Amino acid sequence: MPPIRQSQKSHPQTLSSLLQSAYQGYVSIPQMTSRELQAEARNSLNDQYRRLLRKENVSVPWTWPWEAVSADRVILIGYPLDEKLADPGSLTKDKLILLVAALRRGTCYFAKISEAAFQALEAEYAKGVNLGGIIPKPPRDDRSDKGSVHGRHKNPATQTKKRRRGKIINSPPIVRDDTDIEDFSEGEMQELSSDPIVDWSD
């Protein structure tokens, strides 16, 4: 499986010896809590990734790291763990100590690769997928309303408009200024007072 990173390993070492090496010059690291180590590792990797791509609103694709290679031609060099890149939140404290120490030393970092290097990695990745050793990111499901027309995209010529109903306001009858109210009979007054007026102002 072509990883998003390239490990730098000269000879096999036990985890304890690696931890001792990580402690040298970084006495404060083992005293940090797991949450502090997770935050430093995640922020450091995300900051590197954003600076390299010159984009502010991106983050490392932890779940599907191949996206960083395929979309941005970026790999992680010097990853100190013998496994694929994972969200720091899923790592044990011992592994976080190794990762934070490598990030502080500058031996773990993101780098751009050439198109030729990408094609070689892509061929290796495709081979891994075909053999079943690599699970690729599943395609995104289609929206349930795919193909339907929404809102402003409708044809104005055929779009039907919903007619608004006015509010009914009971109001006293309106009498012309030049008409004496005494000229109306009692029946006419009752008919006028019961006639509703529609208010379209709202």
In the chain, the percentage of residues whose pLDDT exceeds 90 is 38
pLDDT: which is higher, 160 or 123: 123
At residue 191, the pLDDT reads: 58
Whether 109 and 172 share a structural domain: no
Alpha carbon distance 28, 160 (integer Å): 69
At residue 66, the pLDDT reads: 86
pLDDT digits (tens, 9 = 90+) for 149-164: 665 555 656 655 555 6
Whether 99 and 11 share a structural domain: yes
Produce one character per residue of 134-152: b if its CB has 16 or more CB atoms within 10 Å, e if not: beeeeeeeeeeeeeeeeee
Structural domain span for residue 108:
5-131
Whether 69 and 127 share a structural domain: yes
The beta-carbon contacts of 37-44 under 8 Å, at least 24 apart in sequence, are 37/88, 37/93, 37/96, 37/97, 37/99, 37/100, 38/88, 38/89, 38/91, 38/96, 40/100, 40/103, 41/88, 41/91, 41/96, 41/99, 41/100, 41/103, 42/87, 42/88, 42/89, 44/100, 44/103
Last residue of a domain, one of 131, 155, 189: 131
Instruction: Examine residue 140 and state whether it is found in any structural domain, yes or no.
Output: no
Domain count, the chain: 2
- Confidence class for position 141, pLDDT limits 50, 70, 90: low
Instruction: Examine residue 15 and state whether it is found in any structural domain, yes or no.
Output: yes
Average pLDDT value for residue range 82-95: 92
- Confidence class for position 42, pLDDT limits 50, 70, 90: very high
Average pLDDT value for residue range 62-82: 90
What tokens does 125 get? 């990745």
pLDDT: which is higher, 126 or 169: 126
Whether 106 and 27 share a structural domain: yes
pTM of the model: 0.56
Instruction: Examine residue 144 and state whether it is found in any structural domain, yes or no.
Output: no
Asked if residue 74 lies in contact with residue 53, where contact means CB atoms within 8 angstroms, the answer is yes
Whether 22 and 103 share a structural domain: yes
Instruction: Examine residue 65 and state whether it is found in any structural domain, yes or no.
Output: yes
- Confidence class for position 14, pLDDT limits 50, 70, 90: low
Question: Is the confidence at residue 200, as pLDDT, over 50?
Answer: no
Whether 65 and 114 share a structural domain: yes
Tell me phi and psi for residue 165, to 5 degrees.
-95, 135
